[in-house]
Amino acid sequence: MKTFPIGGIHPSDCKEYSKGAKIERFPVPATVTIPLSQHIGAPAVACVAKGDKVLVGQIIATAGGFVSSNIHSSVSGTVVAVEPKADAQGNMKPSITIAVEGDEWAEGIDRTDTVVKAINMSPKEIVDKIAAMGIVGMGGATFPTHVKLSVPDGKKAECLIINAVECEPYLTADYRVMLEQGERLLIGARILAKAIGVDKIYIGIENNKPDAIAHLTKLAGAYLEIEIVPLKMRYPQGGEKQLIAAVTGREVPSGKLPIDVGAVVQNVGTALAVYEAVAKNKPLIERVVTVTGSTLASPKNLLVRIGTPMSALVEYSGGIDGIGKVIAGGPMMGRAVSNLDAPVTKGTSGVLLMPTQESLRKAEGSCIRCAKCVEACPMGLEPYLLSALTQQNDYDQLEAHYIADCIECGCCTFSCPSYLPLLDWVRIGKAEVMKRMRERSQKK
């Protein structure tokens, strides 16, 4: 089976806890808090005020620029606040809070289960529709989808790759979507392919999901342009550049984007959201979230309205007794949650509850120059060096050693026998280098 050429690790996938849990519709909460920045780029600008009545699917914030995204109400009710609220890490972010009153949807949204296969729209109309519906990448990066589909002048898309790898341990949201919404997923992929003008679609799936591979292979038999590509189980197979290398054999050069090698990559959840936006006129107001952990009473895959408090999901799935850490996302690339009342956003793929014993960091040792972090890095970087340079505030050398190429996968920290927090330091250094690069670009 195919895989990427360098680095990578083999953590336990821990998917057995929730992979058998079919998608459940989570009850509409009493109140939602919807952040205005749920995407890479400029925050959206609120277009409602305190006291306004809103419907499910109604736009409540407009994109603040080209690299931004519209935001829609996930509930019906009354706007009770337009003010900063704490996110999952405790940072105050502009948000809209809505008190729920019933569940009344905006006109024009098709809520039937009928599968719509014929899409009579031009590529531009598809991209405009995706932008209007607030679709963003749902694999975690939350890049506005309409921007990714707007191929720059001088570039040409040659293939669409659907990222169905879900290599992050514990998470099974995409897996359940493949099994339960496979037909709609494939139609969404075809819509995306039409938008960028390609006639070849690859769907990459790791071989720890044989039933999903078999199911989508059977469904894809009706679509000649779709090829299911089984991949070796190897983290981070779902990294954009790693997936492109595995599927096409092409390497995205340092500082370049997937489109530079003719590829456009979209996540499973994004493809489904695109289908619902284009075929059903449904904005991105809900998503599937895995709530899981080794000691959780009842791990779940839940279809959750955007803005729902994470605490409600945790309580619904069995509570937090004996839990030492809650992570938004998975254990490799997720972030620790310091505020459990923070809302589910467009990028929330999972809520992981780790027992106290599993969540404790081990005592740091000294670097023994074993180079295991170098061997594990899928980007060919030297994490031990980047960590040391960050601690020395040597940002020129960090940039010279390609820290901007780091995908923050965590392979370095996982592989370190001295338990050094390599990724923590690299993230700090990368953030500063990226800031300096943006400032230079703005001065030009």
Amino acid at 195: A
Rounded Cα–Cα distance for residues 209 and 179 (Å): 10
pLDDT level of residue 120 (50, 70, 90 thresholds)? very high
Query: What sections of 238-377 are H helices per DSSP?
Result: 240-248, 268-280, 310-316, 356-359, 372-376
> What is the tens place of the pLDDT at every residue in 12-63?
999 999 999 999 999 999 999 999 999 999 999 999 999 999 999 999 999 9
pLDDT level of residue 126 (50, 70, 90 thresholds)? very high
> What is the tens place of the pLDDT at every residue in 397-441?
999 999 999 999 999 999 999 999 999 999 999 999 999 999 998
3-state secondary structure of 97: strand
Rounded Cα–Cα distance for residues 240 and 39 (Å): 17
**Considering the chain, what is the average pLDDT of its residues?**
96
> What domains sit in the chain, N to C, each tagged with a CATH number?
110-280 (3.40.50.11540), 372-443 (no CATH)
Residue 369 Rama label (left phi>0; alpha psi -120 to 50; beta): left
Rounded Cα–Cα distance for residues 139 and 282 (Å): 19
Contact indicator for 317, 294 with CB cutoff of 8 Å = no
Rounded Cα–Cα distance for residues 162 and 152 (Å): 20
Rounded Cα–Cα distance for residues 7 and 381 (Å): 10
Query: Is the model's pLDDT at 271 over the cut of 90?
Result: yes
Distance in angstroms between the alpha carbons of the first and the last residue of the chain: 46
Length of the chain: 444
pLDDT value, residue 57: 98
pLDDT value, residue 322: 81
Q: H or E stretch including 400?
A: helix 395-400
| Average pLDDT estimate for 90-109 | 96
Take residue 326 and report the two structure tokens written for it.
């809650």
Rounded Cα–Cα distance for residues 105 and 76 (Å): 7
Take residue 386 and report the two structure tokens written for it.
């980047």
Helices 210-220 & 173-180, crossing angle to 10 degrees?
40
Rounded Cα–Cα distance for residues 288 and 185 (Å): 14
Phi, then psi, of 137 in degrees rounded to 5: -65, 125
Contact indicator for 10, 234 with CB cutoff of 8 Å = yes
User: Mind giving me the DSSP string for 424-444?
Assistant: HHHHHHHHHHHHHHHHHHHH-
Q: How much is the CA Rg of the chain, to the nearest whole Å? A: 21
User: Mind giving me the DSSP string for 183-233?
Assistant: HHHHHHHHHHHHHHT-S-EEEEEETT-HHHHHHHHHHHTT-TTEEEEEE--
Of 279, 284, 280, nearest to 121 by C-alpha is: 279
